[in-house]
Structure 1
Amino acid sequence: FACRPPPDEKENVNKACEFIQLLAILAATITYQAGLDPPGGLWLENGEGHTVGDSILLTTHPIRYKAFFYSNSVAFVASLVIIVMLQNKKLVRLHILEAAMILDLFSLMGAYAAGSSRDTSTSIYIVAMAGAVLIYVVIHIIFFTLDPRGMHKDVLDKCREVLLLLAILAASITYQAGLTPPGGFWEIDDEKHGHHAGFSILQDKYHRRYKAFFYCNAASFMASVALIILLVNPTLYKPAIECYALFVCMVGGMFGLMAAYAAGSSLHLKASIVVLVLVALVPVFGFAAYLVGSNHRDNNKQPAGEGGATQGDNVADDAAKDQIQPAQQVADGAAKDDQNQPPTTGTKSNQHKDQDNDKAKYLMLLGILAASVTYLTGLKPPGGLWRDDNDGHSAGSPILYDMDRRRYMVFFYSNSTSFMASIIVIVLLLCQILRRKRRPPHWSLHTAMVLDMLALLVAYAAGSARKWGTSRNVILLLIPIVVFLWLLFCYKNRRRNTASQKGGAPTTQNTGEHHPSAPATEH
């Protein structure tokens, strides 16, 4: 007979499969796109040593292109193999696929270092960023005092899941943005102006802005990949989460993402200043929400001898109470001759905890969705970019900015507001997890998310059309959809109330007939 694995081991294997599958899908998606649209662009005409459609980087930097191509291909093929091999649980149980996933991530780092820059020293600096993150985490674990009680297993798994989702978000968007930076690439050599095909337009025309974007984006990518490598290894991620080292790295990666967006989303100083102001508002907003939440917690705090534990108890204590609660319920039931007991405080607490976790997960997923789409769209705005400096426009500048400046500004500021609001939600949720509190998501998070969705709608309306009447119609579509949902809700609610009223009368009558103390019916 085949030996079945114990339940705990089976659960761990299933979770490992979910994480590995998620990472493999991430790597396969971004490497597939990067392989078909390589960094440096493609030749638009035949020339010496190349034909139309060939990679520019292959002609100008063949060794660098081959390093990028094969590293990217190794990551892509390894991801496909991992996805197929996940059906075999034995490979997961022996940690073979986890080792393959780490090889996949290192290939991603090599492809990014080779494809995002054109000189060797810059590529070395990029790889060194990932090493610096790993060294920092190890030092943080060694020299910082760990919580002697540690985290409860459920909390640890929840933190791992959240950090992994955020790391995947940052890695996916920064990989694409780093290989194809904002402003595009020069498509031809221009010796008169010193332009070289395959080099970034932003690097030649706005060197400081490009450096700010490049290093912030690279730091966010390398930090995310390093976090994923740590989260794959159970031996490393447990102490790293308990001492908050991974949280610090993730928050730093989020701020690097915001700085990269501020530097690369606009070529105009005023617009960048506005975006930087929005970046500065993120910690201010978070600190204000923290103060309001702290005051609310202090006002609702109960004395230790009267109300038991406060709302800010950690999950480890709650888990111990939940283990004691069933035994206490059994003893009470035996003493009261199996009388029906109302829901206990522990059960209600668990229900509220599950609802709060669902709300936090809902807000986190919305923030990840909005941040991913707005980051890439802000770096590559609708309408495309100018490819030359003729006719009064500048290469790398958005075409929509010169053709319809007001529409571009509406799109830009709405998209930037949505992106920053998403980061606010993500950072505040990280801070809430960092404090190990089980409070429900604060009203500020819901407010920021509503603002996020409205700004996303306005940005879509402004960027997807070229006539103001069409943009207005897109926004007005919100009204019939909301009215339809409201009418459907009213109909369902009314039907439910009617059904409950009809079902309640027979139940009351039957209860009266069989109950021993029911009064006699007069005829």
Structure 2
Amino acid sequence: MLLLAILAVSLAYQSGLNPPGGFWSRSTDHHSAADRILEDTHHRRFIAFFYLNAIAFVASIVMITLLLNKMASDKVTKRRALPITMIVVLLSLTGAFALGNCREANKTVFISVLVCSVLAYVLIHVLIAIHIIPPEWRRQVAEMLEHSVSHFCSVPCQFGHNHTGGDTSEKELGRRRNLLLTIAILAVTVTYQAGMNPPGGVWSDDQKATGTPGNPILQDTHPKRYDVFYYSNSVSFVSSVVVKILLVNKESCEYGIKSYALRVCLVAGLLGLLIAYVAGSCRNIKQSIYLSTIAMGVLVSLLIQVLLSSMHDTLGKPLAKCLGFLHDLLFHAEGEQVNTPVSPEASVDVRSEASVEVRPEASVVEEERVRKRHKYLMLLAILAASIAYQAGLNPPGGFWSDDKGHVSGNPVLRDINHRRFKIFFWFNSFAFMASIVVIILLLSKSIRKKAVPIGVLHLIMILDMLALMTAFAAGSCSKLRTSVYVYALVGCVVVILLLLIIVTSAIAKYWKPREGSGINSLRRPEPVSGANTSA
């Protein structure tokens, strides 16, 4: 509740101080400078947006205040006042989003219908999964998928996941709920801000501007591209808001997670983010085709993974050997650190198909270690996706606001320094696409069961961070020398960290035998063999 309230406060505060449509830059008879454009051009729409945004902001502040007081928090939690208030806040944000990111009534109605449609889909999905599909069929399908994944990867299933109650335990449901909530917060944050400040900017009251002040420039210069961006961004926002509404209630959260309905909504929201990024960050067909090809490659790779896991009888063993060889070749150091203790009675090869007896303590430690690494990778991917999405829709340098010698709404950096803009655009797009790939892979249950080596995901995130660094160097600097300084600074930081690691390792090796000798010197002398000593 506190996390959702903080999210709502940040979004409502930013959109309240910087409302959609911008501000007037000159004082005339009808308005003054710094007044809100949308208030004069679309008065009713702005009033509705203002009050809905204010309701979300004030209610979130009250929730945070109550949660900070333990006694008040216990009382409102027992009477379910907080979940009801949070649902009101999320619906208020949805209404403010529908009124602020467009100027047409049919698009506002579209978002309202979309909210009802997503809620109806989740309800139907849950009812079908619980009351219509027999439990025996669900159990058989789960066993077939688990057997397929484990046989295809030639590794045992992840420790701690059994057929009886591992996936339906309270602890496992809490972990899945936190995972879904984190991804939903990412999607809501970036899509809400992109809707309030659309790519290309809005028309100003400059005399050279040809459009209506406060309206999106991209809507007039590239109407089809703007429609694709608007509807994709809206689908991602609405699906994420619905997921958060359902996660607030414990019953709907449990049924939605078990039936995979919430996960389907989040995957649809992530695909909507991909399409919105392609439509909003490009201005020509070549760039759109390039990004669309990357997005289709992501979907095809996921489909191939599912098909290969289902055809384990024909392709499973050779492909598993190939994957094992590549994993040992690329991540040999990582594999040496993972030592799975095996009992003497069952000392068999780990890669064989025979069963391996694992000590419970080691299995719990291994499961917790893998889960933590998945969590860190998910947080890094969410961070990279959020900043890359915002930078792609609002690139450095801003947009042209008039039609004199250029096209309104096009990035200024693209016309002034085309090569630098291309470097920023390609590397930023790669970072965004790679982050979405990692998020979708970590949402898959087979990944948590080690269907893909975690070293591969580490490699993708390292390339992701390098791409973000390159995009930052190209977009934040205007000269080549300044861009080189960025890489030099990164190199200096890496060298300093390596030196610190070497020095601390040497100190640890130097003091370890001394500590051991000091401890041994303090021990009592062992009794002479044969002497009568008491127990």
The TM-score, its normalising length taken from structure 2, stands at 0.81
Aligned in 2, Cα 1:136/1:518: closer, same or farther, shift over 3 Å? farther
Correspondence for 1:250: 266
Correspondence for 2:53: 72
Q: Which runs of 5+ in 2 are unaligned?
A: 140-163, 325-341, 352-356
Aligned in 2, Cα 1:154/1:207: closer, same or farther, shift over 3 Å? same
What is the rounded CA distance, in whole Å, between the counterparts of 1:517 and 1:253 in structure 2?
74
2:192 aligned with 1:175: yes
What is the rounded CA distance, in whole Å, between the counterparts of 1:224 and 1:473 in structure 2?
40
What is the rounded CA distance, in whole Å, between the counterparts of 1:407 and 1:436 in structure 2?
39
Aligned in 2, Cα 1:189/1:306: closer, same or farther, shift over 3 Å? same
2:463 aligned with 1:448: no
Equivalent positions of 1:205-244 (< 5 A) are 205-244=221-260
Correspondence for 2:484: 472
2:30 aligned with 1:35: no
**Residue type of the partner of 2:43?**
P
**Contact 2:441–2:447 (8 Å) recurs in 1:** no
Correspondence for 2:154: none
**Contact 1:67–1:114 (8 Å) recurs in 2:** yes
Deviations 1:247-299 (A, max 9, x none): 11111100100100000012122112111122122223445666888858977
**Residue type of the partner of 1:234?**
K
- Classify the secondary structure of the residue corresponding to 2:525: helix
Percent identity among equivalent residues? Answer: 40
Aligned in 2, Cα 1:306/1:284: closer, same or farther, shift over 3 Å? farther
2:301 aligned with 1:278: no
Aligned in 2, Cα 1:234/1:61: closer, same or farther, shift over 3 Å? same
| Residue among 433, 443, 447 paired with 1:430 | 443
**Contact 2:233–2:273 (8 Å) recurs in 1:** yes
| Residue among 404, 417, 432 paired with 1:419 | 432
2:120 aligned with 1:135: yes
What is the rounded CA distance, in whole Å, between the counterparts of 1:43 and 1:455 in structure 2?
38
Correspondence for 1:361: 375
Equivalent positions of 1:260-271 (< 5 A) are 260-271=276-287
**Contact 2:233–2:272 (8 Å) recurs in 1:** yes
- Classify the secondary structure of the residue corresponding to 1:513: coil
| Residue among 127, 141, 154 paired with 2:171 | 154
What is the rounded CA distance, in whole Å, between the counterparts of 1:292 and 1:152 in structure 2?
30
**Residue type of the partner of 1:495?**
I
Q: State the shift of 1:142 in Å.
A: 1.0
Q: Which moved more, 1:249-258 or 1:271-280?
A: 271-280
Deviations 1:407-454 (A, max 9, x none): 00000111111111110110000013x676367862221111011100
Aligned length: 462
Q: State the shift of 1:492 in Å.
A: 1.3
**Contact 2:228–2:276 (8 Å) recurs in 1:** yes
**Contact 2:209–2:402 (8 Å) recurs in 1:** no
Correspondence for 2:5: 24
What is the rounded CA distance, in whole Å, between the counterparts of 1:121 and 1:191 in structure 2?
30
What is the rounded CA distance, in whole Å, between the counterparts of 1:455 and 1:289 in structure 2?
25
Q: State the shift of 1:238 in Å.
A: 0.4
* Alignment root-mean-square deviation, CA: 2.8
What is the rounded CA distance, in whole Å, between the counterparts of 2:391 and 2:128 in structure 1?
41
2:502 aligned with 1:490: yes
Correspondence for 2:361: 347
Q: Which runs of 5+ in 1 are unaligned?
A: 1-19, 312-320, 322-343
| Residue among 366, 370, 376 paired with 2:384 | 370
What is the rounded CA distance, in whole Å, between the counterparts of 2:222 and 2:384 in structure 1?
28
The TM-score, its normalising length taken from structure 1, stands at 0.83
**Contact 1:41–1:56 (8 Å) recurs in 2:** yes
Correspondence for 1:461: 473
What is the rounded CA distance, in whole Å, between the counterparts of 1:355 and 1:23 in structure 2?
28
Aligned in 2, Cα 1:479/1:346: closer, same or farther, shift over 3 Å? same
- Classify the secondary structure of the residue corresponding to 1:477: helix
**Residue type of the partner of 1:372?**
S
Q: Which has the higher contact order (CA 8 A, sep 6+)?
A: 2
**Residue type of the partner of 1:357?**
R
Deviations 1:210-262 (A, max 9, x none): 00000000000000000000000001010110111111111110010010000
**Contact 2:203–2:209 (8 Å) recurs in 1:** no
What is the rounded CA distance, in whole Å, between the counterparts of 2:213 and 2:176 in structure 1?
45
**Contact 2:87–2:245 (8 Å) recurs in 1:** yes
What is the rounded CA distance, in whole Å, between the counterparts of 1:99 and 1:73 in structure 2?
17
Aligned in 2, Cα 1:515/1:235: closer, same or farther, shift over 3 Å? farther
- Classify the secondary structure of the residue corresponding to 1:79: helix
